[in-house]
Structure 1
Amino acid sequence: MFENRLTKVFKHLRKTAKRQGVTCYRVYDNDLTEFPLSIEIYEDELYVAEFKREHNLSEEQYEEWQQRGMEIMSKVLDIPIDNIYLRERKRKENRNDQYEKLSFESHERIVQEDGLKFKVNLTDYLDSGLFLDHRITRHMVREMSQDKDVLNLFCYTGSFSVYAAAGGAKSVTSVDLSKTYLSWAEENMQLNDIYDPAKHKYVHADVLQYLEDLKLNSFDLVVIDPPTFSNSKRMKDFMDVQRDHVSMLNNILLALRPGGVIIFSNNYRKFKIDEAAINAKTIKNITAQTMPFDFNGKLIRHCFRIEK
C-alpha cells in the first residue's frame, strides 16, 4: 500500500520538479494513516520525519516496519538507504522545540534553490533549516527587494534574508531569539557571497520587544513568519499568534514607509486575520498563489500581503 502510494505520487512530482528545476521538495506527507511520515528529498538524500503515534507493535515488529519502510523509500525514490535520515518528531506548537538540538550527528550539506545555496542539517534539529513550503514566497520577496530596506522577523536560518539580499536589497535586518539560527543565517549569506556586515545586520532579540522600539518609517519590506505559540524563558511575555497578530502588524506598519509591504505567514490551522483592526491600506490573502506544487492540498498555513 505504501509502495504503491509513494510510486504514484513520486512519478507525478518528479516530473514537475524537473520541469521547474527544483531539487529539494516534499514527496509524501502523512498520506496514509498507517504510515505517518513526512518525506523530503534534498537532492540525493532523504529527510524522513516519523510523527509520534500510538501503535500496537512490539519493539521488534516496529523496527521491522521501519526497516521495510526505508527499503521501499530507497527502491521507489532511487536513493541509497545510507542517504536516508529518519527521525521521530511530534507536531510542534512551541518555538522552543525548534531551537533545541535533538541530536549531535550533525549531517550538514549544501543544497541549491533558485540559483542560491543553503546549508541544511538532516539530523540534529526538528526541521532541516529550509522550509520548503515557502519556496514561492521567497522568490516573491527576491523580486520585491531591489533597493529596499528589508526586515526579516523570526528569521530562523535566514533564507528570506538571502533571497532579499540576492534581489538587490539596500539592507537586510534579520531578527531571531536564537543565536544558533542567526549564525546559520550569516553562514547562508556567506555561501552566496552576499555577506556584508555594513549592509546586512543580525539581531538577537525577542521580536515582540524589538517591535516596540522600531523607528518610524525605517523599512520598505518586512517578512514575518511567527510560531503559533512561544513561551521561551528568554522572552518578556509569551506569544500567541492569534491573540498578538494585530499588535505585531500594527507596530510593523508604523515602521514601514508609505507604500511599504508586509509578507505575513503563520501555520496556525484555525487562524483568522482581524482585518478591521489592522491599520493597513490593503490586505490580500496570497496563500494559494504561494503554495508550491509539492504542498498543494496538503499544507495548512496562511500567507498575506499587507500594504501600508
Structure 2
Amino acid sequence: MFENRLTKVLKHLRKTAKRQGITCFRIYDRDLPEFPLIIELYEDKVYVAEYRSQHGMEEEAYDEWLHASLDVIAKVLQVPADDLHLRTRQRKQNRQSQYEKMDFSKEELIVQEDGLKFKVNLSDYLDSGLFLDHRITRHMVREEAKDKKVLNLFCYTGSFSVYAAAGGAASVTSIDLSKTYLQWAEENMQLNELFDPAKHQYIHADVLQYLDELKMNTYDLVVLDPPTFSNSKRMKDILDIQRDHVEIVNKVLLATKKGGVVYFSNNLRRFVLEEESIQAGSIKNITAQTVPFDFQGKLQRHCFRIVK
C-alpha cells in the first residue's frame, strides 16, 4: 500500500518539479494514516521525518516496521540507504527543539532553488535549514525587494534574506535568537556572493524584545515568520502567536514606512487573524497563492500580505 502510494505521487510530483526546474521538494506528507512520515528530496538526498504516534506496537515490531518503510522509500526513490536521513519528531514540539543539535554527523550539501544556492543539513537538527513550503513567498519577496530596506524577523537560516538581496534590496537586516542560524544565514549569503557587511546586518537578539528597539518608519519590506509557540529559556517572554500576534504585527508596522509591506505567516492550524485590531491600510490573505505544488492540500500554515 505504501509503495504504491509513494510510486504514484513521486511520478506526478517529479514531472511538475522538472517542469519548474525544482530539485528540492516534498514527496509525501502523512498521506496514509498507517505511515506517519514526511519525505523530502534534496537533490539526490532524502530527508525522512518520522512522527512518533500511538502505534500500539511492541518496540521490536515498530523497529521492523520502520526499517521496512525505509527500505520501500529507498527502493521507490532509487537511492542508497545511506542517502536516507531519518529524524524523529514528537507530535508536540516547542521552538527550543528546533535550535537543539540532535546529531553531529554533519550531513551537509548545497542545493539550488530559483537560481540561488542554500546549505542544508539533513542530520544534525530537527529541520533541514530550508523550509520548502515558503518557496513561492520567497520569490514574491525577491520580486518586491529592489532598492528596498528589508527586515527579516525570526530569520532562521536567512533564505528570505538571500532572496531579498538577490532581488536588489538596498539593505537586509536579519534577526534571530540563534547564533548558529545567523552564521548559517551569513554562509547562505556568501554562497550566492551577496555577502556585504556594509549593506546587510545580522543581529543576535530575542525578536520580541528587539521589536521595541526598532526605529519607526524605517523598513519598506518586512518578513515576519514567528513560531506558533515558544517557551525557550533564551527568550524573556513566552510566545503564543494567537494571543500575541496583534501586538507583534502592530509593533512591526510602526517600524514600517507608509505603503510598506509586511509578509506575515505562521503555522498554527486554527489561527484566526484579528484584522480589526491591526493598524494597517490593507490586509490580504495570500495563503492559497503561496502554496507550492508539493504542498497542495497538506499545508497548515497561513500567510498574509499586510500594507501599512
**How far is 1:96 from its partner?**
0.7
With the length of structure 1 as denominator, give the TM-score of the two structures. 0.98
| Paired position in structure 2 for 1:173 | 173
**How far is 1:237 from its partner?**
1.2
With the length of structure 2 as denominator, give the TM-score of the two structures. 0.98
**How far is 1:56 from its partner?**
3.3
| Paired position in structure 1 for 2:39 | 39
1:122-152 Cα offsets, whole Å, 9 max, x none, are 0111100000000000000000100000000
1:148-227 equivalence runs, <5 A: 148-227=148-227
CA distance in structure 2 between the aligned counterparts of 1:258 and 1:91, rounded to whole angstroms: 41
1:158-208 Cα offsets, whole Å, 9 max, x none, are 000000000000000000001110011001001100000110000011111
| Paired position in structure 2 for 1:143 | 143
| Paired position in structure 1 for 2:18 | 18
Query: Contact 2:133–2:295 at 8 Å: present in 1 too?
Result: yes
1:250-269 equivalence runs, <5 A: 250-269=250-269
CA distance in structure 2 between the aligned counterparts of 1:233 and 1:292, rounded to whole angstroms: 34
Runs of 5+ consecutive residues of structure 1 not aligned to the other structure: none
**How far is 1:55 from its partner?**
2.5
CA separation of 1:54/1:93 partners in 2, compared to 1, >3 Å: closer, same or farther? closer
Equivalent AA in structure 2 for residue 223 of structure 1: V
| Paired position in structure 2 for 1:61 | 61
Counterpart of 2:268 in 1: which secondary structure? coil
Query: Contact 1:52–1:90 at 8 Å: present in 2 too?
Result: yes
CA distance in structure 2 between the aligned counterparts of 1:218 and 1:200, rounded to whole angstroms: 15
Compute the RMSD of aligned alpha carbons.
Answer: 1.0
**Which stretches of structure 1, 4 residues or longer, exceed 2 Å deviation after superposition?**
54-64
1:74-153 equivalence runs, <5 A: 74-153=74-153
**How far is 1:92 from its partner?**
4.6
Query: Contact 1:286–1:304 at 8 Å: present in 2 too?
Result: yes
State the percentage of identical aligned residues.
70
**How far is 1:60 from its partner?**
3.2
Query: Contact 2:38–2:48 at 8 Å: present in 1 too?
Result: yes
Query: Contact 2:53–2:91 at 8 Å: present in 1 too?
Result: no
CA distance in structure 2 between the aligned counterparts of 1:111 and 1:93, rounded to whole angstroms: 27
| Paired position in structure 1 for 2:232 | 232
**How far is 1:23 from its partner?**
0.3
Query: Contact 1:150–1:219 at 8 Å: present in 2 too?
Result: yes
1:249-276 Cα offsets, whole Å, 9 max, x none, are 1111111111100000000011100000
**How far is 1:67 from its partner?**
2.1
**How far is 1:212 from its partner?**
0.8
Equivalent AA in structure 2 for residue 60 of structure 1: E
**How far is 1:115 from its partner?**
0.5
CA distance in structure 2 between the aligned counterparts of 1:175 and 1:93, rounded to whole angstroms: 22
CA distance in structure 2 between the aligned counterparts of 1:285 and 1:100, rounded to whole angstroms: 33
CA distance in structure 2 between the aligned counterparts of 1:291 and 1:56, rounded to whole angstroms: 34
CA distance in structure 2 between the aligned counterparts of 1:90 and 1:59, rounded to whole angstroms: 16
CA distance in structure 2 between the aligned counterparts of 1:176 and 1:303, rounded to whole angstroms: 20
**How far is 1:59 from its partner?**
3.4
**How far is 1:235 from its partner?**
1.6
Instruction: Establish whether residue 307 from structure 1 lines up as the match of residue 307 from structure 2.
Output: yes
Query: Contact 1:93–1:227 at 8 Å: present in 2 too?
Result: no
CA distance in structure 2 between the aligned counterparts of 1:134 and 1:92, rounded to whole angstroms: 22
Counterpart of 1:294 in 2: which secondary structure? helix
Equivalent AA in structure 1 for residue 162 of structure 2: V
Runs of 5+ consecutive residues of structure 2 not aligned to the other structure: none
**How far is 1:93 from its partner?**
4.4
More moved, 59-68 vs 290-299: 59-68
